[in-house]
A and B are shown apart, each in its own frame.
Chain A
C-alpha cells in the first residue's frame, strides 16, 4: 500500500463522489422541502446525459474540431440538456407530484416509482436498450502527472465544475430571494405560505435546480465512463440517495460531505488490500466502543428512570398486543426488565451487535490481508453503507433538516 496507490484511489473517489454530490443535491433539496424521495431523479440524471450526448453527436463533433470550437460545442450541449431536463423535472413535479400534496406518506412515493418506470422505458424506446457510446474522439484524453500518478484531466475538470456549481448553488440558496424562499419553505411550508411566499413556485424551482444539476452530472458521467445505459441512473440515483442520507437528508452541505465520503469508501473498499481495510473496521470498532461504554450508560439510566415513572397499569396495557413469548419471558424476568428491553438495552444490544460485526470483519480482513476485495461487490458496499447508516444513525453525519411537524 504505497502513497501513489492511495492517492490514485483518493482522486478517483473524489471524482465519483463529486458526481454523486451533483445528484444527491437534487434528492436532498426535494426531501428538505417535500419530505419525499423523488425516485425519478436517477432517470432524470440519465436523460440529461443522453440529451447532451445526442446533441453532441447530432452537431457533428469529431476529432478534427479544434479545441476552442469543441468547448463551445460542449457548452451548447450542456445548455440544451440542462434546459430540456429542467423542463422535464418541472413537468414531472407538475403532473405527478403536485396533485398529491398533502396525501398520506406512501402515496407520492408510489407515484414517483411510477414516473421512474415510465421514464426508464421512455429511454429504452427512444434510444434503445443498448448502451450509447460517446465517440472517443471528443473525450479529452490528456493526462496530468501529480505526485507520480497519472490523473485524467477529465477527472480534474469534473471536480472543478462540480465545485463551481456547488458555489453557485450556495450563492443562490444563501443570498437570493428565491433561495430565501426555499429555505423558508423547507422549514415550515404553511408558515411560509402565510408570509406570502408562493410555495408552489418555490417547489417547482427546487425541482428545476435539482434536475439541472443532475443533467450536468449525467453529461460528466457519460464523458468519464464513455457510455451510458438506460439503467445507469437507477444505480447512481440509489448511491446518491445513500450519500444524501449519509450526510443527513435535507442538509445541503451534508449531501456533499456524504457523497465524497461514499465515493472514497467505495474506491478504497474495492482498490485496497484487505489488510488496509481492516483498519477502517478497527476505527469503527473504537468509535462504537466509545459510544457504548461512555455515552450509553447515562442515557440508559435516564430511560430506566423514565420508565419507572410510567404507572404499572399503562405498562400492562402496552403489553396486551405483544407477542406471548417475549411477554412471558419478561414476566418471568421481573417487572423492571420492561424498561431495559424496550428502550435502552435494545439500543445498547444493537450497538454491541454492530461492534461484534466490526470486530469479526476486522479479524477476517487481517487474516486475509493479502487478497483484494472483488470489484463485483462494489455495489454491495454502498447498499451496506445505506443500511448501516439508517440502522445506527438515521439522521446522518451532519444531521437532517426536515420540516418540523406540529
Chain B
C-alpha cells in the first residue's frame, strides 16, 4: 500500500505507533495528578469535585457501553439502575430509617440489587426488537423514578434522603474530596480492566457478533437471550456500583438526580466516544461532563486574566453571554453534536474497529480495506469482484 504523506497522515501514523497501554498510563497519570495538584493549591477544589462527578459518569458510560456498545441494545432507562444503587446505599446508611450498614456490604448490596433489577427488566423484554427495547427500558426507568418519588415511607419522596454517612474503609473515614476521588478512581480502573478483559473474551466476542447480526450469531451457536441478559445484568451492576459511590459522595439524593435526561446524557457519552469502545466511553464521559464547565470557567475567569478586561469587553455582548451562560446552551449543543456525530462520524471519536467497520459498510474505502484483508486482492481481478 502507498504510504500517505502530509501533516495529518504523518501525525496519525506517529500516534498510531505509540502502544495503547502508554495512552492508558498517561490518562491514569493525569487522573492521579488531579488531587495532588489540588493539594499543592494549583487548582481549586471545584475541579476536584467536578473530577469526582466525571469519574462517576465514566463508570456509568462504561457500564452502558457494555449493553449498548458491545451488545447493541439501546437502553434508555439506564439511570434507573444507578437510582437503585443510590437508594440502596442511602436507605441503609443514613438516619432516615436508622440503619448504618458497613461500606463493603452496601457496595455489594447496591451492585447486587441493581443486577437483580437488570435481570428482572431484561428477562421479559430482551426478545423485543431493538427500538422497542429502547422504549420499554425508558418506561421502566420512568416507573422506577416515579416509584422512588411516591414511596414516601421509605424514600421520603421528592424531599430525598439527606445526611448519608461517610464510608469507613479499613478503619479509615473517607471524608475529604481527594480521598473520594481516589476511591472512585480505583473502582473506575478496576471496572475498566475487567471490561477490557471481558471484551476480548469469548463472551465479549459473542456480544459483538450479536450486535452485528443476530441471526448469523444464533446460527453459529450463540444463545442470544442468555448473553444479552448477561450483558444487561453486568451493565446494571456497574451502574449500581456507581450509584453507591455517588450516594456516599453526594450525601444527599432525591429523584431529580435520576431523570430521563440523565439516561440520555449517558447514552450521548457512549455515542460520542464510540460505541463498543472503552477508551471512547471514558473520553465521552469526561468530555460531556467536564468540557462545558471548562468552557464556562475559561471565559469567566482565565480569558479575562489573560487578555485583560478591555479586550473581553470589546467582544460582542452576545458572545460574552453565550460563554458565561454556557450551561443554558449545554444540552442544546449536546443534541446538535449527537446529530452531527451520527451523520458524519457514527463510529465516535475513539472508535472501536469492529463497530467502525459495521457503520462504514457502505464506505468504498472501508470496503476496499476489508477486501484487502479478507482476500488479499490487488488490481487486475476486476472480473472476480463482480
Give residues in A with beta carbon < 8 Å to B. 36-37, 95-96, 99-100, 102-107, 109-111, 113-122, 124-125, 234, 238, 241-242, 245, 317-323, 326, 350, 374, 376-377, 379-380, 383-384, 386-387, 390-391, 394
CB of B115 to closest CB in A, whole Å: 14
For the complex of A and B, list the 3 residue pairs with the smallest distance between their C-beta atoms, beginning with the closest.
Answer: A114-B338, A118-B335, A117-B335
**CA A105 to CA B128, docked complex, whole Å:** 13
CB of A155 to closest CB in B, whole Å: 27
Residue of B nearest to A31 (CB): B131
Interface residue? B343 (CB, 8 A): yes
Given contacts A109-B74, A322-B226, A383-B143, contact A391 B125 (CB under 8 A): yes
> When the two chains form their complex, are residues B335 and A379 in contact, meaning their CB atoms are under 8 A apart?
no
> When the two chains form their complex, are residues A118 and B136 in contact, meaning their CB atoms are under 8 A apart?
no
Given contacts A113-B264, A318-B221, A321-B206, contact A387 B140 (CB under 8 A): yes
> When the two chains form their complex, are residues B226 and A116 in contact, meaning their CB atoms are under 8 A apart?
no
> When the two chains form their complex, are residues A125 and B328 in contact, meaning their CB atoms are under 8 A apart?
yes
CB-defined contacts of A380 to chain B, threshold 8 Å: 142-143, 146-147
> When the two chains form their complex, are residues B124 and A350 in contact, meaning their CB atoms are under 8 A apart?
yes
Interface residue? B130 (CB, 8 A): yes
> When the two chains form their complex, are residues A115 and B335 in contact, meaning their CB atoms are under 8 A apart?
yes
CB of A396 to closest CB in B, whole Å: 11
> When the two chains form their complex, are residues A390 and B132 in contact, meaning their CB atoms are under 8 A apart?
yes
**CA A111 to CA B341, docked complex, whole Å:** 9
> When the two chains form their complex, are residues A105 and B136 in contact, meaning their CB atoms are under 8 A apart?
no
Interface of B is mostly: helix
Given contacts A36-B131, A125-B328, contact A318 B339 (CB under 8 A): no
Pairs across A and B, CB under 8 Å, 27 listed: A36-B131, A37-B134, A103-B346, A105-B131, A109-B130, A109-B131, A111-B338, A115-B339, A117-B264, A117-B338, A118-B335, A118-B339, A121-B335, A125-B328, A317-B221, A321-B226, A323-B226, A374-B150, A376-B150, A379-B142, A380-B142, A380-B147, A383-B139, A387-B140, A390-B132, A391-B136, A394-B129
> When the two chains form their complex, are residues B131 and A37 in contact, meaning their CB atoms are under 8 A apart?
yes
**CA A359 to CA B89, docked complex, whole Å:** 33
Given contacts A111-B343, A321-B206, contact A122 B147 (CB under 8 A): no
> When the two chains form their complex, are residues B267 and A113 in contact, meaning their CB atoms are under 8 A apart?
yes
CB-defined contacts of A350 to chain B, threshold 8 Å: 124
Which of B74, B128, B131, B339 contacts A96, CB < 8 Å? Answer: B339
**CA A323 to CA B125, docked complex, whole Å:** 18
**CA A130 to CA B358, docked complex, whole Å:** 43
CB of A154 to closest CB in B, whole Å: 29
> When the two chains form their complex, are residues B342 and A241 in contact, meaning their CB atoms are under 8 A apart?
no
> When the two chains form their complex, are residues B329 and A125 in contact, meaning their CB atoms are under 8 A apart?
yes
> When the two chains form their complex, are residues A390 and B136 in contact, meaning their CB atoms are under 8 A apart?
yes
CB of A213 to closest CB in B, whole Å: 21
> When the two chains form their complex, are residues B260 and A321 in contact, meaning their CB atoms are under 8 A apart?
no
Other A-B contacts than A113-B76, A114-B336, 18 sampled, CB-CB below 8 A, are A36-B131, A96-B343, A102-B362, A105-B130, A109-B134, A113-B264, A114-B335, A125-B328, A241-B135, A317-B221, A321-B206, A321-B222, A321-B227, A322-B223, A350-B124, A374-B150, A386-B139, A394-B132
Which of B74, B76, B146 contacts A379, CB < 8 Å? Answer: B146
**Cβ contacts B267-291/A at 8 Å (1 or 0 each):** 1100100000000000000000000
Which of B130, B230, B342, B362 contacts A114, CB < 8 Å? Answer: B342
In residues 193-209 of chain B, which contact A (Cβ within 8 Å)?
206
Interface residues on B, range: 35 or more
Given contacts A110-B342, A121-B331, A125-B329, contact A390 B135 (CB under 8 A): yes
CB-defined contacts of B346 to chain A, threshold 8 Å: 103, 107
Interface residue? B72 (CB, 8 A): yes
**CA A247 to CA B109, docked complex, whole Å:** 40
CB-defined contacts of A114 to chain B, threshold 8 Å: 268, 334-339, 342
CB-defined contacts of A234 to chain B, threshold 8 Å: 260
**Chain A CB within 10 Å, residue with most, of B76, B147, B328, B335:** B335
Interface residue? B359 (CB, 8 A): yes
CB-defined contacts of B132 to chain A, threshold 8 Å: 245, 390, 394
**CA A323 to CA B223, docked complex, whole Å:** 9
Which of B150, B264, B328, B362 contacts A377, CB < 8 Å? Answer: B150
Interface residue? B332 (CB, 8 A): yes
CB of B300 to closest CB in A, whole Å: 20
Interface residue? B138 (CB, 8 A): yes
**Chain B CB within 10 Å, residue with most, of A114, A318, A320, A379:** A114
CB-defined contacts of A376 to chain B, threshold 8 Å: 146, 149-150
CB-defined contacts of A323 to chain B, threshold 8 Å: 223, 226, 230
Residue of A nearest to B361 (CB): A104
> When the two chains form their complex, are residues B150 and A394 in contact, meaning their CB atoms are under 8 A apart?
no
CB of A229 to closest CB in B, whole Å: 14
Which of A102, A106, A125 contacts B74, CB < 8 Å? Answer: A106
